[in-house]
């Protein structure tokens, strides 16, 4: 038995906001734009958005202080700053961080007695402002998932399931300005979503179809996208959206849970942190789901690990201590991602995977 639910209305193409964005008029007359500190002012996306809102007569407030891997504190302070204003909808503009932030604040500005911690209690999430997502990285797929990943006060990255964005506007021009290393890291995030979704215990026929297509697009385009090829970057934006539709159904797996520690404690970007670990987690599944592992390797030219080496993912070594690994294993074993991951995972097995992927 399976279900496939993907309610977000997705618009794609150069100039898509100006051409299709008038639809936002139906969401109300007061918008909150949440974005990062710099990039949306440089890649043309914020100008396109404010031009559109001015043209259709929607007033807006800009909150441009979203951190990377947004913390509970970042969200709480934004709510305190904004709660005296009234909004009809929230627009998340940027990478996964602003889009995830938009989902969190859309709940907290509607249901004002809730705290960030309450976002993790499904029973408390009953009302929210509609969310619109405009990605400017090609990686997270957050524009088509209901997830918001925030960093709690103990430094753990924790995902909650909130709402799907109502609309997503994907304009490839916004990802043309990404530097090569960010294109690599975010592209590998999309790759991890496609692969993890395909290996997940929760994979379904439609999610498999999307995974396979996303993996093929990524295999053909990631390297060229890193080198700056615009057509390849456009294709990566499509692949990241398809892969987002996958994880919205399947969730992510152990590779994500293991990578979170590298992001928070070692400052490694989310996609890179996950991708470094992924082939070694996949290797452990050969006994459980050999055909699926084989399919992934075949799509990536014979070996996923070799492909990731070729695109430069392992060029910079990640150095960790055995004490750090010891500490991370306990959190990883408690992560709900394990439920989606085929195989039995003991502390020794997790330590071994970290040891294979990193320099200890
Ligand atoms: P990000 O954290 O949103 O942004 C990373 C950096 O990229 C920031 O410095 C940002 O600058 C910059 N940037 C964004 N767009 C750019 C562009 N077009 N050109 C140049 N620089 C640009 O990165 P992300 O990888 O997209 O998102 C990662 C977050 O998403 C993590 O918190 C991760 O856990 C989460 N995530 C969520 C989901 C989901 O389903 N919801 C899935 C996977 C990952 P500014 O700060 O100046 O904007
Ligand atoms: Zn991810």
CA atoms within 13 A on the CB side of 284: 22
> Which bound ligand lies closest to the C-alpha atom of 97?
1
Q: What is the pLDDT of residues 183-240, one digit of tens each?
A: 999 999 999 999 999 999 999 999 999 999 999 999 999 999 999 999 999 999 999 9
> Which bound ligand lies closest to the C-alpha atom of 144?
1
Ligand 1 neighbourhood includes 260 CB (under 6 angstroms): no
pLDDT at 297: 98
Which residue's CA is minimally distant from atom 45 of ligand 1?
36
Ligand 1 neighbourhood includes 43 CB (under 6 angstroms): yes
Ligand 1 neighbourhood includes 263 CB (under 6 angstroms): no
Ligand 1 neighbourhood includes 136 CB (under 6 angstroms): yes
Dihedral (CA of 34, 253, 360, 153) sign: positive
> Which bound ligand lies closest to the C-alpha atom of 247?
1
Atom of ligand 1 nearest to the CA of 247: 40
95 contacts 121 by C-beta, under 8 angstroms: no
Positions of the chain with pLDDT lower than 70, given as ranges? none
Contacts of residue 219, defined as CB under 8 A and 6 or more positions apart, other chains included, come to 299, 300, 301, 307
Contacts of residue 297, defined as CB under 8 A and 6 or more positions apart, other chains included, come to 303, 304
Atom of ligand 1 nearest to the CA of 175: 18
Spatial distance between the Cα atoms of 204 and 242, rounded to a whole number of angstroms = 14
Which residue's CA is minimally distant from atom 8 of ligand 1?
68
pLDDT at 280: 98
Q: How many other C-beta atoms can be found within 10 angstroms of the C-beta atom of residue 322?
A: 11
Distance, CA 137 to ligand 1 centroid (Å)?
6
Ligand 1 neighbourhood includes 196 CB (under 6 angstroms): no
Q: What is the pLDDT of residues 60-80, one digit of tens each?
A: 999 999 999 999 999 999 999
């Amino acid at each position: 038995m399976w279900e496939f639910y993907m309610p977000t209305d997705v618009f794609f193409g150069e100039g898509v906001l100006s051409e299709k964005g008038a639809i936002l008029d139906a969401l109300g007359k007061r918008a909150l734009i949440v974005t990062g500190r710099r990039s949306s002012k440089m890649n043309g996306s914020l100008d396109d958005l404010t031009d559109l809102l001015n043209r259709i007569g929607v007033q807006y407030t800009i909150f441009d202080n979203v951190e990377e891997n947004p913390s509970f504190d970042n969200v709480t302070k934004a709510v305190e700053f904004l709660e005296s204003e009234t909004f009809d909808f929230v627009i998340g503009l940027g990478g996964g961080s602003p889009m995830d932030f938009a989902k969190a604040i859309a709940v907290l500005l509607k249901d004002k007695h809730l705290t960030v911690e309450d976002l993790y209690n499904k029973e408390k999430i009953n009302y929210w402002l509609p969310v619109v997502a405009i990605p400017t990285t090609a990686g997270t797929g957050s524009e088509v998932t209901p997830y918001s990943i925030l960093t709690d006060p103990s430094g753990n990255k924790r995902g909650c399931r909130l709402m799907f964005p109502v609309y997503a506007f994907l304009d490839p021009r916004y990802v043309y300005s990404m530097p090569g290393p960010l294109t690599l890291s975010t592209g590998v995030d999309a790759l991890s979503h496609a692969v993890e979704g395909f290996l997940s215990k929760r994979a379904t026929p439609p999610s498999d179809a999307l995974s396979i297509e996303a993996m093929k697009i990524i295999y053909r385009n990631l390297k060229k996208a890193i080198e700056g090829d615009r057509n390849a970057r456009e294709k990566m934006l499509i692949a990241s959206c398809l892969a987002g539709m996958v994880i919205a159904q399947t969730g992510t797996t152990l590779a994500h849970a293991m990578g979170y520690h590298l992001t928070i404690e070692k400052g490694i970007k989310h996609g890179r942190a996950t991708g470094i670990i992924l082939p070694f987690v996949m290797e452990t599944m050969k006994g459980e789901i050999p055909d699926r592992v084989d399919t992934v390797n075949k799509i990536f030219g014979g070996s996923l690990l070799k492909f990731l080496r070729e695109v430069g993912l392992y060029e910079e070594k990640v150095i960790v201590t055995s004490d750090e690994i010891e500490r991370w294993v306990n959190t990883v074993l408690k992560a709900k991602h394990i439920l989606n991951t085929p195989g039995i995972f003991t502390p020794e097995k997790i330590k071994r995977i970290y040891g294979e992927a990193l320099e200890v």
